[in-house]
Amino acid sequence: MINDMTRELYDLRAKTVDLTAFVVNDEEDLYAHESQIVITRVGSKTLLLVMYMRNQTLTTEWELSGHAILKVFELTTKKLLKTFDLFYPGLSADLTMPADEIINVPRMYVTGATLKCFCPNESTLYERDIDISGIDPTVWTAGNLVVTEMYMKDSGGNTVLADVTSTNIQTHLKYVLGDDYAGYANMMPLFRNMNIAKSGINWYTVLEFSGEKSRILSSKCISHHTLK
């Protein structure tokens, strides 16, 4: 009876374990987390896109060397086709990310022939676009760094297209919720949810407003982003 049960477990393992698993990040003393996987079809190729945070374990090292990495693989062969170093403190790509603010939670979304990549630092949500219309990922290039914009309320209650910063979101929450609770201040805006809903040129997702890096009480709000 025990032998039968053991054999049954091994049979189940053989059916469920993916023996083609492979290592995405194997650089010495570097660690990957907050990862996201997207599988998309580009021309005749099916691609596996992997985005993750790469950093050391200590906070001081994280602040100095944290990077948001995107790797593009051919799905069936797992061959690495391209690596992008998309976001890091001090990055200058037309706009410059502050060198003294850590980054966290990179995310990506495919819309049409564009791969939209996002990453926040402690106060601002940034994005870079990659044109993925070409069938050869080795020649893809990342566009300039920009601050993400979303429709929010200003202090007078007007709906305006504003930069996604902790300051502007605090103003939005103050008007919408009718108070200026201190816990809304100095929080990091980010996309952690990977699901989106689309309507015309607009897409909708959850914007999280988190104090996980600013040591302040976490909170969340739901808003939307309009593609430009």
Rounded Cα gap, residues 70 and 86, in angstroms: 7
What one-letter code names the amino acid at 196?
I
Cα angle, residue 75 at apex, residues 71 and 81 outer, rounded to 5°:
40
Rg from Cα positions in the chain: 20
pTM: 0.83
Q: Where are the domains of the chain?
A: 22-146, 148-228
| Full pLDDT tens readout for the chain, 228 residues | 445 544 554 554 555 555 467 777 666 656 777 889 999 999 888 999 999 988 766 666 566 678 999 999 999 888 999 999 999 999 999 999 999 888 888 999 998 899 999 999 989 999 999 999 999 999 999 999 999 998 889 999 999 999 999 999 889 888 988 877 777 777 888 887 767 777 777 778 888 887 765 445 455 555 556 554
What is the token pair recorded at 107? 């995310």
HEC string for 210-225:
ECCCCCCCCEEEEEEE
Closest CA to 70 of 129, 15, 13: 129
pLDDT of amino acid 86:
97
What is the token pair recorded at 127? 């994005």
pLDDT of amino acid 148:
93
- The owner of tokens 């009876």 is 1
C-beta separation of 164 from 224 below 8 A? no
C-beta separation of 60 from 83 below 8 A? no
